[in-house]
A and B are shown apart, each in its own frame.
Chain A
Amino acid sequence: MKKDLWKRTLRLLDLPEDMDATVPRITVVGREQMLVENLSGIRRCSEGEVLLLTGCGVLAVSGEKLLVKELGESRALIVGRLLRWAYGE
């Protein structure tokens, strides 16, 4: 309820939704880098898969030779060969 109200307020003020710290913002540079902001933790980290906890659920990033280059300040920089990413519950 509170979340909906906050979303509505942002829309009303014509502000981007990623101002809400719980909404993740994902930036992908080519196939080698992915920056995920506004995350709340890491669930799994391996060479083939990285699972990140976000406000919208678990973000699963699959690829080859994945490495979490940086983790801190509610953001993660994943490098490696990215294949796909998807949200799960």
Chain B
Amino acid sequence: MGNKKKWLFYNGYVIIQIEGVYPERLASLLEASGVPLWDLRRASPHALVCTMPARGFRRLHGLNRRCRCRVRILKKMGGPFRLRGLWRRRVLLLGMGCTLLAAVWASHRIWFVDVQGCRRMDEAVLRQALSEQGLQPGRDVRALILSDLGDYIAAQYEELAFLELHVDGVFLRVRVREALAEGERLDLSRPCDVVSTRDGIVTKITAYGGRAQVRSGERVKRGQLLIAGHVTARDGSMTYSTHAYGEVLAAVLYTARAEAPQTVVEWAETGEIAPYAALYAGPRLLLERDCPFEDAELETEKDALLLTPWPFGVCRGTWREKVKRERPLSAAERKEAALFEAERMALLQVPRKAKIIMIDRYTVEKNGKLYGVCNVTTEENIGYTKEI
């Protein structure tokens, strides 16, 4: 909406028709007296149509005495005219006002507390702590200094390192940064080295303490020194021991081989069946027919019988007898089974935090036997802190 249209809407405007022998005279008088006109056009040989602000309409009558024109309002538009119609419906207006006030009142308060990042710290305990500091749903938190409260609560609990609080609309967002557990903490006073836990090719090395002994792209063996704790100054003037620590990412290869099976054991139906029935009272089992077979699969369909106010239910079904049978595999099935088993075995060796980069699967024949081979390449931190 343009500025002119906005101005017209807020102040209200009328579309009028001026009829008379010389309607332009009234238009000129209006213009001269400071009443602006818009969209002035001739509607008939003796009539002009134009738009004027609602406020100027009173002045129109005084000026019209000199011109003897007939003025008719064709349309009333804008906010004041709309509100006038609404003014007759007082209860609706009151309701709208109350709703608006309630919305304004509610929008200045928090209604939801969103906690993220709790692992060791119990979330219920944290919520209780927040509540004790006045951070609970329904509270106006504008007057509170959230950063101070976050620091105060974090200082109360040793599990917490940092607590970030911020208001996002009606949400209080709580981001928790937990402190390291006892075993995870770095004891920087003890000199130590970082050595490799696996064979691999270094992709990235960042030494936060000590001096890096390998570079990116270098092949390393298990137990090899990666970041040294014994550091000699570059000019050779002094040597000191420090707590070496850092991040050493390396590409590590995990390989597994599995022989292709000749047969596979599968469950097969014998064709023998037996009926099954059970009676329930709500979720509780009252009666049940036993299975006559050693191994069987049950197919059921549950019907609810509402005989009494209690929800009794009858469950009917069929026992299908099954036995284990050995089936010879085709060449394609043998290959697929060997690859599947090799991949499963290789993936079992991969640590949880490792990032899998590539999986390569193939089959080999050796001494008349078919083997599935799977190579999994990962990127992982291979640095391990070892005391000197």
Contact = CB atoms under 8 A, between A and B. Distances in A.
B159 to A, nearest CB: 71
Counting chain A residues whose Cβ lies within 8 A of the other chain, the interface size class is 10 to 19
Nearest to B29: A41
Interface in B24-38: 24, 27-28, 31-32, 34-38
A71 B36 contact: yes
A64 B28 CA distance: 22
A42 B31 contact: yes
Contact of B40 (A41, A71, A73, A74): A71
A45 B40 contact: yes
Contacts of A44: 24
Nearest to B40: A68
A42 B42 contact: no
Interface in B1-56: 24, 27-28, 31-32, 34-42, 48, 50
Contacts of B40: 42, 45, 67-69, 71
Given A41-B32, A45-B48, A69 B38 contact: yes
Contacts of A43: 24, 28
Contacts of B27: 42, 45, 71
Interface string A19-35: 00000000000000000
A74 B27 CA distance: 12
A72 B53 CA distance: 12
A74 B33 CA distance: 10
A68 B41 CA distance: 7
Contact of B28 (A46, A53, A67, A69): A53
A46 B42 contact: yes
A70 B32 contact: no
A41 B37 contact: no
Contacts of A41: 24, 28, 31-32
Contacts of B42: 45-47
B36 A72 contact: yes
A29 B40 CA distance: 20
B24 A70 contact: no
Nearest to B38: A70
Contacts of B34: 72-73
A71 B48 contact: no
Contact of B37 (A40, A46, A47, A70): A70
Contacts of B24: 41-45
Interface in A34-89: 40-47, 53, 67-74
B13 to A, nearest CB: 13
Contacts of A45: 24, 27, 40-42, 48
Contacts of A74: 31
Given A42-B31, A43-B24, A67 B39 contact: yes
A47 B48 CA distance: 11
Q: Please name the 3 residue pairs, one residue from A and one from B, whose CB atoms are nearest each other, closest first.
A: A72-B36, A41-B28, A68-B40
24 contacts: A41-B31, A41-B32, A42-B27, A42-B28, A42-B40, A43-B24, A43-B28, A45-B24, A45-B27, A45-B40, A45-B48, A47-B41, A53-B28, A67-B40, A68-B37, A68-B41, A69-B38, A69-B39, A69-B40, A70-B37, A71-B37, A71-B40, A72-B35, A74-B31
